[in-house]
Structure 1
Amino acid sequence: MAEQSGKAAAGGGRAKAAGALQGPDTLERIGLLSDLSPAARAEVERACQWRRFANGEQILDRNSDSRDVYFVVDGNVEVVNYSGNGREISYAVVPAGGYFGELSAIDGERRSASVVAQGTCRLAALPPKAFEALLAREPAVALKVMRRLAGIIRASNERIMDLATLGAIQRVYRELLKLARPDPVSSGGWMIYPMPKQHEIARRAATTRETVARVLANLLHGGQMTRRDKTYYLTDRDVLEQAIVRLDVRQGPVIS
């Protein structure tokens, strides 16, 4: 399916995105390759297939047997999975300069998640053998990949803990706290801008859009959050943090 999607992107996808992405096919902005010499980077570029995808187009299917590693040259992509009842769960967004697909390239197994384009994207696909050769001859690149895999394990552990110890409402609280940034105008204040769409928060929290809508409505009604245009302000961040802690403490013995 992913191979068919890639072919569609190489034909129909390019037609949809014609003229949308300009510039040379270069990997100079890919963080993983930042330590390479120009000649070494050019060698990787020559081994890649360059593809364009339109907004919402599937790049990889989780059951695909493709093994390529993808470098995100322009645009963003979203890594998603699906629960048993078909609900979409968002794992991560990979921005321009990032990469994905290294797990299958390393272990030869099927893809662990699906990947969808967010807006028009330009990607470079590196075959698994070329990726293995790159890791073998460039220790700095191999170390970066190992650190990224360690980060994925840590994030997965945190997500598992959230699913095991937090209810749906508390998981929404957790996502709101992750989104909150210090308010540059109000000392000690916190704000969320821009607030993601409700279905996007629901995917991150592994719940439904209706639950997110209910949580936001309750927080606004209760005064723990206010809204001005597209900006949301947390007037009482401690309330959300304490609600999460209380549930962690109550559920802790269940998983100890």
Structure 2
Amino acid sequence: MSSQLRSSLALQGVQLLDGLPPARLEALAQVCRWRTLPAGRLLVQRAERESDVHFVISGELRVTIFALNGRQLTFREVGAGGQFGELAAIDGEPRSADVLTLRPSVVASLRAADFLALMREEPVVNERVLRGLCHLVREVSERVIELSTLGVQNRVHAELLRLAREAGCQDNKARLDPAPTHSDMASRISTSREQVTRELNALQARGLLAKEGRALLLHDVDQLARMVSELRGAPAQPAAS
């Protein structure tokens, strides 16, 4: 791996480290372990005793769990500029999920002791970590409610709404490009690919969804939000303009 890739330049794109002085970034670059990984490589295994924090320099990784029955439950994808592994670094407990590469990726891994020292010495990093963990708790809580209270049809609606808001909404519409595969959606909401396909076809028949090449177009995000909120018992949040 080139010395330039190992330098502070590569860490400048990590959101958690944004704004840190160049000298601090250079020091972090030197103590990180740098790896170039092919697609499909398992980087972190659930229940293992490994506590590094991993910064994604390029590529994309998936945080997921493989159940004994073979079913996969996906929590999130982490792209360039993101990080994962804070929980094990902070509490010293085993890993809570598997993490594998979706695409060829470059990852810089920081030992737990160095990460905890960074949090103590850099208040802005400490605050970002706390905010990130709060967001994670809220997201997991929402997922638990969906999995325990919503049927498959409504879980598909909720996942589409989440993806639409992540992609950005304009004029009550959203474009998912590239569209998530039916298998990926199924792994996110704990169901089968066939059930996802069935419900997406139903939404297309109602005119709420359309295919356009590799993309999915959502024509009425507010309607989708109302469909989800009616079952959650919470007010619908309108699509951003």
Q: CA deviation at 1:61?
A: 0.3
SS at match of 2:59: strand
Q: Distance in 2 between matches of 1:25 and 1:33?
A: 15
Q: CA deviation at 1:121?
A: 0.7
Kindly provide the amino acid, as one letter, of the partner of residue 25 in structure 1: R
Distance 1:167 1:46, change over 3 A: same
Q: Distance in 1 between matches of 2:79 and 2:73?
A: 18
Q: CA deviation at 1:189?
A: 3.9
Contact kept? 1:79, 1:114, Cα under 8 Å? yes
Distance 1:46 1:227, change over 3 A: closer
SS at match of 1:119: coil
Contact kept? 1:166, 1:244, Cα under 8 Å? no
Structure 1 counterpart of 2:238? none
Structure 2 counterpart of 1:24? 5
Q: CA deviation at 1:158?
A: 1.0
| TM-score for both structures, normalised by structure 1 | 0.80
**Residue 140 (structure 2) pairs with residue 156 (structure 1):** yes
SS at match of 2:102: strand
Structure 2 runs not aligned, ≥5 long: 234-241
Show the 5 A alignment for 1:80-119: 80-119=64-103
Give me the CA root mean square deviation. Answer: 2.3
Distance 1:173 1:128, change over 3 A: same
Distance 1:188 1:148, change over 3 A: closer
**Residue 155 (structure 2) pairs with residue 174 (structure 1):** no
Q: CA deviation at 1:160?
A: 1.2
Contact kept? 2:61, 2:78, Cα under 8 Å? yes
Structure 2 counterpart of 1:254? none
Q: Distance in 2 between matches of 1:195 and 1:173?
A: 15
Among 202, 208, 222, which residue is 1:218 paired with? 202
Deviations 1:93-148 (A, max 9, x none): 11111111111011000001110112111111111111111112222211111111
Q: CA deviation at 1:237?
A: 4.5
Among 53, 75, 82, which residue is 2:37 paired with? 53
Q: Distance in 2 between matches of 1:189 and 1:68?
A: 40
Structure 2 counterpart of 1:8? none
Q: Distance in 2 between matches of 1:183 and 1:97?
A: 23
Structure 2 counterpart of 1:253? none
Q: CA deviation at 1:24?
A: 1.9
Distance 1:224 1:131, change over 3 A: closer
Structure 2 counterpart of 1:10? none
Q: CA deviation at 1:222?
A: 3.8
Q: Distance in 1 between matches of 2:168 and 2:63?
A: 27
**Identical-residue share of aligned pairs (%):** 35
Contact kept? 2:172, 2:221, Cα under 8 Å? no
| TM-score for both structures, normalised by structure 2 | 0.85
Number of matched residues? Answer: 228
